[in-house]
Amino acid sequence: MADHVTLDGAARGMIVAVPEGYRPDLPHSLVVAFHGRTNSNAEVRRYFALEGQAGEPAIVVYPASLKDARGLNVWADPGDPPHRLRDFRLFDAVLESMAATYCLDMGRVFVVGHSLGGSFANSLACARGGEIRGLASLGGGSARPKDCGGPVAAMVLHNPRDEQVPLSEALRLRRALLAQDGLPTGSEPDEPHRFNCRRYGAEGEENPVLWCPLADDRTRNGRFYPHQWPQGVGAAIMAFFARLD
């Protein structure tokens, strides 16, 4: 099983989770999941809880970022323009490697991220809109390229009380996604109601935007941390992806 790809002459680690009973004759969806500034790919694999939730055969890949001079995880180099972040090419390399190794449905490639990983996934879903079917991000920022590669379905989760990434970032992202997908500004309640979600786009819309203002302010230990990834989010994301045609 592949555990890295090579980019610019350097090995970039990744964790590849292949479902039990993988069949090489059955096309699988691909989910590429990005960690944040402080957690590793192994740590987010544990708390994202994406595996085993899919309503369809799915392979989940967790790439590892590089670190900056302070030892923090980063998906781009200082000064990278929004349309050319360094690790856009990491995504390209992961996609190429997975397609060469496994039976993939190339029309069902998804990206997921939390915090800094959410910001990167948000940018990637614009830059690689022609290759990505759907996006799910939690607590991510809104910096994106000016021009997108195509529409994407999206699930945006953000706690209005988030103190690390303000709600204004998520609202800016929502506006950008509605423009990317050519959707009107009206919305209606949708599943999962547990996360207060509203759907932009009609029922059955090919590329809906699901807006989910989370109300989970405290961790299971009682600590106030509205930037968290609440229990049940992974299952909700995979259910959203599964319902996309």
Collapsing DSSP to helix, strand or coil, 181 comes out as: helix
Spell out the residues 6+ positions from residue 183 whose beta carbon is closer than 8 angstroms to its own. 177, 200, 201, 205, 207, 208, 209
Tell whether the model's pLDDT for residue 21 goes beyond 70.
yes
What distances in angstroms separate CA 14 from CA 80, 153, 179, one per listed residue?
23, 25, 33
Q: What number of CA atoms fall less than 13 Å from residue 226's CA on the CB side?
A: 16
CATH code linked to domain 4-242: 3.40.50.1820
Q: Are 48 and 61 in contact (CB under 8 A)?
A: no
Is residue 204 very low, low, confident or very high in pLDDT (cuts 50, 70, 90)? very high
Could you state, in order of their start, the residue ranges of all structural domains in the chain?
4-242
Check residue 193 and give its pLDDT: 96
Lowest mean pLDDT among 20-24, 47-51, 99-103, 106-110: 20-24
Segment 25-50 mean pLDDT = 97
One-letter amino acid identity for 224? F
Indicate the pairing of strand 66-67 with strand 153-158: unpaired
Check residue 56 and give its pLDDT: 84
User: Which pLDDT tens digit goes with each residue over 83-106?
Assistant: 999 999 999 999 999 999 999 999
Tell whether the model's pLDDT for residue 41 goes beyond 80.
yes
Is residue 1 very low, low, confident or very high in pLDDT (cuts 50, 70, 90)? low
Cis-peptide into 57, omega within 30 deg: no
Check residue 54 and give its pLDDT: 66
Segment 218-225 mean pLDDT = 92
DSSP class of 233: H
Check residue 245 and give its pLDDT: 85
User: Which pLDDT tens digit goes with each residue over 123-147?
Assistant: 999 999 999 999 999 999 999 999 9
Tell whether the model's pLDDT for residue 55 goes beyond 90.
no
Segment 46-64 mean pLDDT = 92
Task: Tell me the pLDDT of the chain averaged across its residues.
Answer: 96
% of the chain with per-residue pLDDT over 70:
99
Q: Which of 66, 2, 1 is nearest to 34 (CA)?
A: 66
Q: Are 94 and 32 in contact (CB under 8 A)?
A: yes
